[in-house]
């Protein structure tokens, strides 16, 4: 459909005020097709309210690692779950009702779209965050960018024969009844991109990294888009960020949109929440202005 418009946001992290501002802006533009790339909850002060708002607005979400903690439990992620992170996760769980948890349980791991004749995959991260978060992580991706100027090569591991062989060996070693294997077993049963390699797609659009990194290869464009309410470097700190895809003949346009939101109200929400972990304050540069 020519001039079809699609709105995509990511890494909301339970921040209600920027979510509301972005969705209001999307509604004013008349855009009906809206996707979230995961981490709708986790770390922030309003997980239940965010899930309700996304449901009300018809937003289709994929699962981020914060949703996988809820679906799979934290045992598969013990390598980076400390005491404080565990308390934060339990606090988030306590703020979600059974209906909201049920919604999260239905999030797919990736979504495929055809826009302007281009094959697009939406995901939280192009390495599978259910198990592949040590060697191939957001940190290794950023390190590869800084070291070599590109990081996309680590995504070629996804759904490769090497990956499958390693997964099978690890599952055999620990056994299918080990809680640590839940992510591996989930990925074997329902692989990211339905088992396709990343270079099958013309574009991969992902979150997880929190700030913008756009890479282009001969076969595939990789767009890591900015976290919704989190600003880095020269980004205005009181703006929410999302992107719009506009379908054209045999292509699509990709546009980032910045929307002002009530930052003081967000900070008040964080202060009154009683969250055990103040990581969100670091994410949003709490108390700072630009």
* 270-284 pLDDT per residue, tens: 999 999 988 888 888
Calculate mean pLDDT across residues 152-174: 97
8 Å CB contact between 45 and 270:
yes
User: What pLDDT does 287 receive?
Assistant: 66
For residue 270 the two structure tokens come to 């964080």
Residues 6+ apart with CB under 8 A from 147: none
pLDDT at 1: 57
When pLDDT is cut at 50, 70 and 90, the band that residue 290 belongs to is low
pLDDT tens readout for residues 3-27: 799 999 999 999 999 999 999 999 9
Number of H helices, E strands in the chain: 10, 10
pTM: 0.96
pLDDT at 65 over 70: yes
Average pLDDT over residues 66-93: 95
Q: Is 285 helix (H, G, I), strand (E, B) or coil?
A: coil
How sure is the predictor about 129, in pLDDT bands with cuts at 50, 70 and 90? very high
Give 149's pLDDT tier (boundaries 50, 70, 90): confident
Q: Which residues contact 181 (CB under 8 A, 6 or more apart)?
A: 76, 170, 171, 174, 175
Confidence of residue 158 (pLDDT cuts 50, 70, 90): very high
Please say whether the beta carbons of 224 and 242 come within 8 A.
no
**Whether pLDDT at 184 is above 90:** yes
- List the chain domain ranges: 5-126+203-283
Q: Looking at 195-199, 232-236, 239-243, 252-256, which range is the least confident one?
A: 232-236
Q: What is the mean pLDDT of the chain?
A: 95
Pairing outcome for strands 5-9 and 239-248 = antiparallel
Q: How far is CA 182 from CA 43, 141, 155, in A?
A: 23, 24, 22
**pLDDT range class, residue 217, cuts 50, 70, 90:** very high
Superfamily of domain 5-126+203-283 in the CATH hierarchy = Metallo-dependent phosphatases (3.60.21.10)
Q: Give 288: exposed, middle or buried? Use CB within 10 Å, 0-12, 13-18, 19+.
A: exposed
């Amino acid at each position: 459909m020519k001039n079809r418009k699609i709105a995509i946001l990511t890494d909301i992290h339970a921040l209600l005020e920027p979510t509301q501002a972005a969705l209001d802006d999307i509604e004013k533009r008349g855009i009906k097709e809206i996707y979230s790339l995961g981490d709708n909850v986790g770390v922030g002060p309003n997980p239940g309210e965010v899930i309700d708002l996304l449901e009300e607005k018809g937003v289709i979400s994929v699962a981020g690692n914060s949703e996988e903690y809820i679906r799979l439990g934290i045992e598969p992620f013990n390598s980076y779950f400390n005491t404080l992170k565990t308390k934060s996760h339990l606090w988030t769980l306590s703020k979600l009702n059974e209906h909201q948890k049920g919604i999260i349980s239905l999030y797919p791991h990736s979504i495929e779209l055809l826009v302007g004749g281009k094959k697009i995959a939406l995901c939280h991260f192009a390495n599978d965050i259910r198990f592949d978060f040590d060697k191939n992580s957001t940190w290794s991706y950023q390190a590869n960018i800084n070291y070599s100027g590109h990081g996309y090569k680590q995504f070629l591991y996804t759904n490769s024969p090497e990956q499958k062989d390693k997964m099978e060996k690890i599952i055999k070693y620990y056994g299918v009844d080990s809680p640590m294997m839940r992510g591996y077993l989930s990925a074997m049963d329902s692989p990211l991109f339905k088992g396709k390699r990343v270079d099958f797609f013309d574009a991969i659009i992902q979150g997880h990294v929190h700030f913008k990194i756009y890479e282009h290869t001969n076969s595939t464009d990789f767009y890591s888009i900015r976290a919704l309410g989190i600003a880095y470097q020269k980004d205005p700190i009181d703006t929410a960020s999302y992107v719009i895809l506009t379908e054209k003949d045999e292509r699509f346009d990709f546009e980032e949109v910045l929307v002002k939101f009530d930052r003081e109200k967000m900070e008040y929400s964080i202060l009154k929440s009683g969250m055990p972990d103040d990581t969100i304050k670091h994410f949003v540069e709490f108390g700072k202005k630009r």
